[in-house]
Amino acid sequence: MKKIIVTASAAVTMMLTAVTPAFSAGNIPMDYNSDGRVDTFDIVAARQSGADKTELQAVSDFVLGKPVSSSGGYDSDYTIDEDCILEPKGTVHTGEGTFYGGGYEGGHAMLDPVSRDYWIVAMNHSDYNCAQLAGAYLEVTGELGTINMLVTDELPEGKKGDLDLYTDAFPLIAPVEKGRVPVSWKIVPLDSAEDAPVCYKYKEGTTQFWCGVQVRNHRYPITRLEYMKDGEWVEIERRAYNYFESREMGAGPFDFRITDIYGQVIVDKGIPLSTDDTEIIPGHVQFPK
């Protein structure tokens, strides 16, 4: 199967190298936030300003570097789902950091078994957002330094921006005796996804009559999972414990369409159904950087 993946950052660099010399800063077409460049920030700004679907599609196409045809239209091989963009890449969040002793087993994101290669962290209820940031890889910074952490659990009582770090991780960013400290964090690419595809784990009790499936090893957090049925994409409902569940999927194999929080879309074909809840099934594709 031919796989075509375009990174938005590379496409922006390529397009702006060719386009921006013809315009002065603040006068670039589709520069909705007037920062002198066109990127995913402009897709968000365009949506917030009330741009119609045609305008949103145009700026999405530009960000992805779609070639313009002789008729003025765009090649349709690549898409960004602008309705799914949670935030531009690199967005920095701030809040308070605390520490706790759980999460490698039994975390709310149900990512067991979690590799001890990762520091793990619980995300506040607002940002966790019904598992939207389950499995997110974060760069977390405190007064003593910066570490990368995997979101495996939820912090129900935390305010937006707050994190609850694993006990052994907290001393790397702040003195333990402080207990509660200011932190900043941003989502970064999952390092294990660098040279490996997304993969899938089915929930205990899965059959052709009821299915719970979890996407793993995704470079960025997942916001939507769909499967192909009778030529149409059907969205699968997500639970707060990080499984997508359906009674309509059947016996498989499945073609999945997965959308991340940056609106990037991949299609993974021929994924088999498994009733073994310990099996991790590799896919064939991965999200761009």
7-64 pLDDT, tens digit per residue, is: 334 333 333 333 333 333 345 677 777 766 676 677 777 777 777 777 777 777 676 5
Domain final position from 157, 172, 188: 188
Distance CA 271, CA 287 (A): 17
Single out the residue of 175, 153, 185 nearest to residue 166, CA to CA.
153
127-168 pLDDT, tens digit per residue, is: 999 999 999 999 999 999 999 999 999 999 999 999 999 999
Task: Pick the more confident residue, 225 or 64.
Answer: 225
Distance CA 24, CA 156 (A): 48
The CATH number for 226's domain is 2.60.40.760
Q: Are 131 and 238 in contact (CB under 8 A)?
A: yes
Q: Is the pLDDT of residue 285 over 80?
A: yes
For the record, the structure tokens of 155 come out as: 């912090």
Structure letter (DSSP) for residue 114: P
* Claim to verify: residue 229 and residue 277 sit in the same structural domain: yes
Task: Pick the more confident residue, 74 or 62.
Answer: 62
- Find residue 214's DSSP bridge partners: 201
Task: Pick the more confident residue, 34 or 231.
Answer: 231
Look at residue 106 in the predicted model and tell me its pLDDT: 84
* Claim to verify: residue 37 and residue 23 sit in the same structural domain: yes
Residue 140 belongs to some domain of the structure: yes
3-state secondary structure of 159: coil
* Claim to verify: residue 214 and residue 239 sit in the same structural domain: yes
Look at residue 52 in the predicted model and tell me its pLDDT: 77
Residue 143 belongs to some domain of the structure: yes
Look at residue 31 in the predicted model and tell me its pLDDT: 78
3-state secondary structure of 282: strand
Which residue, chain included where needed, has tokens 């299609």?
267
* Claim to verify: residue 57 and residue 97 sit in the same structural domain: no
Q: Residue 75 CB: number of other CB atoms within 10 A? A: 12
User: What are the Cα distances from residue 177, in Å, to 155, 174, 180?
Assistant: 21, 9, 9
Look at residue 97 in the predicted model and tell me its pLDDT: 97
* Claim to verify: residue 198 and residue 255 sit in the same structural domain: yes
The CATH number for 160's domain is 2.40.40.10
75-98 pLDDT, tens digit per residue, is: 333 478 888 899 999 999 999 999
Look at residue 23 in the predicted model and tell me its pLDDT: 32
* Claim to verify: residue 183 and residue 111 sit in the same structural domain: yes
* Claim to verify: residue 163 and residue 207 sit in the same structural domain: no
Structure letter (DSSP) for residue 192: G
3-state secondary structure of 109: coil
Strand order in the sheet with 222-229: 232-235, 222-229, 254-260, 265-271
* Claim to verify: residue 97 and residue 179 sit in the same structural domain: yes
Look at residue 20 in the predicted model and tell me its pLDDT: 31
* Claim to verify: residue 180 and residue 229 sit in the same structural domain: no
**What's the structural domain count of the chain?**
3
Which residue, chain included where needed, has tokens 């938005």?
8
CA 85 to centroid of chain Cα atoms: 9
Residue 288 belongs to some domain of the structure: no
Domain final position from 80, 104, 122: 80
* Claim to verify: residue 117 and residue 135 sit in the same structural domain: yes
Domain final position from 188, 207, 227: 188
Residue 206 belongs to some domain of the structure: yes
Distance CA 94, CA 74 (A): 39
Look at residue 36 in the predicted model and tell me its pLDDT: 66
Residue 168 belongs to some domain of the structure: yes
Residue 289 belongs to some domain of the structure: no
User: Would residue 217 be called left, alpha or beta, if left means φ above 0 and alpha means ψ between -120 and 50 degrees?
Assistant: left
Look at residue 28 in the predicted model and tell me its pLDDT: 61
* Claim to verify: residue 124 and residue 173 sit in the same structural domain: yes
* Claim to verify: residue 127 and residue 97 sit in the same structural domain: yes
Residue 87 belongs to some domain of the structure: no
Distance CA 180, CA 164 (A): 9
> Which structural domain range is residue 129 located in?
93-188
Residue 85 belongs to some domain of the structure: no
170-210 pLDDT, tens digit per residue, is: 999 999 999 999 999 999 999 999 999 999 999 999 999 99
Distance CA 137, CA 9 (A): 19
